[in-house]
């Protein structure tokens, strides 16, 4: 009744009040509509800005890992270009360490004063130049053994014969060049740090092109995190880098190392291809 009374007293016979009421209603609707449009615009702008930051971070991670892959390829290329070093690597892969030491002492295939031709010295130089390397490994397909050089500059030559190891089967399989470290290789070298990723490049005879074995490098995943330092203050959520099989190679929150990432379909994930052109199609999951 009060509303009817107010209407009869102030609006029924008062054209000015009617116009004022209509104008007020239009103004309220206009303000609400503009506020909603501004809200959508600001929200869209914020989302676009966050997506741009995330995209830039993902592209930076992608470039970093590909640079590491290219650095391993360059290591193998350098081995081939230095004929004395290449000969010594082949000798080490096909003989025991004691025989290699005797070989170097006698000066076969290499000048004794040329330290660049010493495989262990060469590996030490590689370690010194790249602090993110955890392990350097040479696998001999003929001898079925694994020569390892770790971050403490310790060298070991391990028997990986098919009679008591699955490593020959692992090395014979077609796998992505960039992946999580293989369980059997971890077991053989007793390296269980989950925050590692592996890069693998074949070693072939430069004249016959016959495969001699594999060159493997284990990298610390911490290096990927260091590559994101410039984005850390602006990033929201976590960044996860996955292998082709969905195993976590890097996790900014350290939740999923050594596991498969449970929230992403990784059928076409990062580093699913073995050649660099195809690898450009890869993606990093966030």
Closest CA to 148 of 189, 101, 183: 189
Contact 187, 197 (CB under 8 A): no
Predicted local confidence at residue 164, as pLDDT: 81
Query: Are the beta carbons of 239 and 57 closer than 8 angstroms?
Result: yes
Q: Quick check: pTM over 0.85?
A: no
Instruction: With H, G, I as helix, E, B as strand and everything else as coil, classify residue 139.
Output: strand
- pLDDT band of residue 202 (cuts 50, 70, 90) is very high
Report the run of H or E that residue 198 belongs to, with start and end.
Answer: strand 196-204
- What pLDDT score was predicted for residue 11? 59
276 CB-near residues (< 8 Å, 6+ apart):
66, 69, 70
**Structure-block tokens of residue 6:** 């107010």
Does 177 score more than 80 pLDDT? yes
Note the pLDDT tens digit of each residue in 235-249: 777 788 888 888 899
Q: What's the pLDDT tens digit per position in 73-111?
A: 999 999 989 888 898 999 999 999 999 988 888 875 445
Query: By the 8 A CB rule, do 250 and 241 touch?
Result: yes
CA distance 71 to 63: 12
Q: What pLDDT, in 10s, does the model give residues 258-269? A: 888 887 664 344
């Amino acid at each position: 009744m009060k509303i009817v009374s107010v209407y009869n007293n102030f609006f029924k016979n008062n054209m000015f009040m009617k116009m004022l009421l209509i104008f007020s209603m239009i103004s309220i609707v206009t303000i609400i509509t503009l506020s909603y449009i501004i809200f959508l615009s600001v929200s869209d702008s914020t989302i676009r800005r966050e997506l741009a930051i995330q995209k830039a971070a993902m592209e930076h991670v992608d470039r970093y890992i590909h640079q590491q892959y290219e650095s391993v390829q360059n290591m193998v290329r350098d081995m081939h270009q230095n004929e004395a070093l290449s000969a010594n690597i082949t000798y080490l892969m096909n003989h025991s360490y004691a025989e290699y030491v005797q070989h170097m002492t006698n000066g076969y295939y290499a000048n004794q004063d040329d330290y660049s031709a010493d495989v262990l010295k060469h590996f030490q130089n590689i370690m010194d130049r790249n602090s993110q390397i955890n392990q350097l490994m040479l696998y001999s397909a003929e001898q079925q053994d694994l020569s390892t050089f770790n971050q403490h500059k310790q060298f070991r030559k391990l028997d990986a014969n098919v009679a008591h190891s699955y490593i020959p089967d692992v090395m014979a399989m077609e796998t992505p060049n960039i992946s999580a470290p293989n369980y059997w290789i971890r077991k053989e070298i007793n390296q269980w740090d989950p925050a590692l990723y592996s890069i693998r490049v074949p070693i072939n005879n430069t004249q016959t092109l016959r495969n001699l074995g594999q060159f493997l490098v284990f990298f610390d995943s911490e290096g990927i995190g260091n590559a994101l330092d410039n984005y850390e203050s602006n990033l929201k959520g976590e960044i996860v880098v996955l292998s082709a099989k969905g195993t976590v190679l890097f996790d900014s929150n350290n939740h999923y190392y050594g596991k498969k990432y449970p929230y992403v379909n990784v059928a076409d994930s990062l580093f699913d291809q073995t050649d660099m052109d195809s690898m450009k199609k890869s993606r990093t999951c966030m």
